[in-house]
Amino acid sequence: MSRSATDVMHDVIVSAVLDAVAAFRQAAGGVPNALVRDIGAVHPNTTLADLPEPVRAAVAASVRAAFTRLQKEGYAVAPAATARAAAPRPAAGRPAPRTPRGPGKPPVVETKRRPPPRGPKGPPRGS
């Protein structure tokens, strides 16, 4: 019986998280304070280069295992160009969806700000 891609990815992600936790423990060398410091240093903007070497190795192994597992389950893993070519096109009456700005570029945040206050109009009173 074949499994859904969601089930496969769920298993892959759980495995990757467990591997990363074990790698954090290995990187701490059994020192609880170092483990807390390393885990506490992880935030949403953390890059792969910011992680300890054992964690980087665990992430790389998890990525390789994820692709291998997807292929063993019968899912096609293709380069982005092939995947984009097979993607459905929007209907003729609808505008095309917005595309991301590209790698490394921050998103454009549109805000509604009031214009800065202008200085006094005319000469000061009482002069």
Look at residue 53 and tell me if it is in a domain: yes
Give me the pLDDT at residue 96, please: 60
Give me the pLDDT at residue 29, please: 86
Look at residue 123 and tell me if it is in a domain: no
35-87 pLDDT per residue, tens = 888 888 888 898 888 888 998 999 999 988 888 888 888 887 777 666 555 55
Look at residue 122 and tell me if it is in a domain: no
Give me the pLDDT at residue 97, please: 59
Give me the pLDDT at residue 41, please: 87
Q: Using the predicted structure, report yes or no on whether residue 1 has a pLDDT greater than 60.
A: no
pTM: 0.53
Look at residue 90 and tell me if it is in a domain: no
5-30 pLDDT per residue, tens = 788 888 888 888 888 888 988 888 88
Look at residue 127 and tell me if it is in a domain: no
Q: Using the predicted structure, report yes or no on whether residue 125 has a pLDDT greater than 70.
A: no
Joined together, the tokens standing for residue 23 give: 């790698």
* Residue 61 near residue 19, CB atoms below 8 Å: yes
Give me the pLDDT at residue 9, please: 83
Which residue's structure tokens are 């692709």?
Answer: 67
* Residue 56 near residue 20, CB atoms below 8 Å: no
77-123 pLDDT per residue, tens = 777 666 555 556 656 666 665 655 556 666 666 666 666 677 666 66
Give me the pLDDT at residue 85, please: 59
Look at residue 65 and tell me if it is in a domain: yes
| Total count of residues recorded for the chain | 127
Look at residue 19 and tell me if it is in a domain: yes
Look at residue 98 and tell me if it is in a domain: no
Which residue's structure tokens are 């009031």?
Answer: 114
- For residue 17, give its domain range: 5-82
Q: What does the alpha-carbon distance between residue 98 and residue 124 come to, in Å, rounded to a whole number? A: 51
Count of the separate structural domains present in the chain? 1
